[in-house]
Structure 1
Amino acid sequence: MILVTGGLGMIGAHTAAALADLGEEVVITAHRRSDVPSFLAGRVRVETLDVADRDAFLALGDRYDIGVIVHLAGSMPEPDPIPYFRRDSEALFTALDAARTWGVNRFAVADSISSYEGRDERPWAEDLALPLAVPPHPIAAFKKAVEPLTLFALAGSGVRPVLLRIGSTWGPLMDPESPFNPVPSTVSAALRGERPRPLPAGAGDFCYAPDSGRAIALLMTATSLAHTAYNVSGGVPFTARQLVDALNAALPGSGIAVDPAEATAEAAPYLDITRLRTETGFEPAFDLPGAVAHYVEWRRENPR
């Protein structure tokens, strides 16, 4: 059985669904959310608990034969990042403790594309040394710290660590007003009948959540893995104009535009997913227009 922490979050839910698609038995933890999305309902077991609660978490091992842990649970930081770092560190340490106690085969944990910030190369590949740079956000800072903590904690334990360097992911279940991606708030405004704010000129490598979940599921179920760190993303950069065109095609008459006041963006960073492709056969199921169209239809029926 595979345990996915944070399994009702955006990436967690899509990972759990993809694992179920592959025929795996899945149990997920949920803490702040209780609404199970339609694409996951009845397909996984749901345990309501705080991952930082060590006793409650370790008790899962009495009820389930867990062989793989995918640690995706996380919280949102306050203005002071210390409580956030403490809270999510406790959750990480509890999950690592469980991995060693249960003797699982693999322990996967989420890092971020932001860990490469400061590298001038394009694209960013896993063999690049992570630069000593101030991350752009507390979440990015914590996720960058997760890698050495996980590697050291699992060294000599027999548990295989898998570091997931996840690109900017969006899609069903994302906060509709998220500051991390312009698509959900733009779609929200259009569906309310409002004129959306112009989009920033920056481009990117946004991975659609169903594709991110499937990539993680393939890594968790691969017979063997040759590496420890894997980029998880679409692997294809796009321009702001391409994003705007996709949004206007899915939302006719919305008049979405690129902010003319913004300077033309530099070459966007994006992730090289050759390693992921080679070892799992992963290919994104959604291109940018397809992802936007799918998301708009989802949001017509769902609040997030």
Structure 2
Amino acid sequence: MSREQRAAIDALLRRSDDFRSDTPPSVHDLRDGFAALMAQMRVAPGIRTTDTTAGGRPALLVEPDAGPRPGTILYFHGGAFALGSPQTALSLTAALVARTGIRSVSVDYRLAPEHPFPAGIDDTVAAYRSLLDAGHAPESIVFAGDSAGGGLTVTTCLRAREAGLPLPAAIVAFSPGLDATRSGASMTTKDGIDPIFTRQALVRTGQLYTAGADPHQPLLSPALYADLTGFPPMLVQVGTNELLLDDSTRVAARARDAGVDVILDVTADVPHVFQSFTGVLDEADRALDRAALFVTQHVDAAG
């Protein structure tokens, strides 16, 4: 069954060719197309959502209907730093909440090109600081995110550490974007295999975010330049059909070399942020089960 599921998802993503087109659509059209695609994803039952704020930014509180257990998943949505919202990530946040019983606060951070680097990082750090200021222990908070938001799980930790803030209990990164130089070997070896992206498209959307900033720095390319010493345990999940595969493999190696507890969880023949297809793709559900176990183990271990 899984082979047929993967083939169907690959075909679906190739029909949505906004990121593969030789004639790039406008940011407005990209945002509309991304929102329409993500609206097709299944949302776990038994959860409720409430509009809230975090660090001065709008946010979405996602909770189990039965009431949350202690802890917070601070979630950063994907979308190449230019697209998306907490709503487009709801299949992921709801899946984690339903599996763990822990609430999620999903941050609507500012987007490029209107708000380029480092606006998004400023917003996610402010959201984290607001949780700490409200009395939530860092040991009860897990950073999680997908794609660009997966990158923010790492860069938010870097900026928080610079600010003297305690780091969270753990990091969960789904297909993170961690190299604005676009220099990974998978950018070439997965060309045509990746059903979503081309190298040209990733360079183009990346430039909206970097806005002329040098990508050869830790906050833009942490897979290459970040000092991860002292980081909390990390779970990095990625598929083998991704142009961004090497962003994950290299940050995991960098974390290991820095003495960080890290799990690199690679799933064969699946696309970027395949976990979004929960309820449709067997590999997505199994990966989310593993992510939920990782979250609960680390929040529980913190007491």
TM-score by length of 2: 0.36
Greater share of strand residues, 1 or 2?
A: 2
TM-score by length of 1: 0.36
Quick check: which has more Rg, 1 or 2?
A: 1
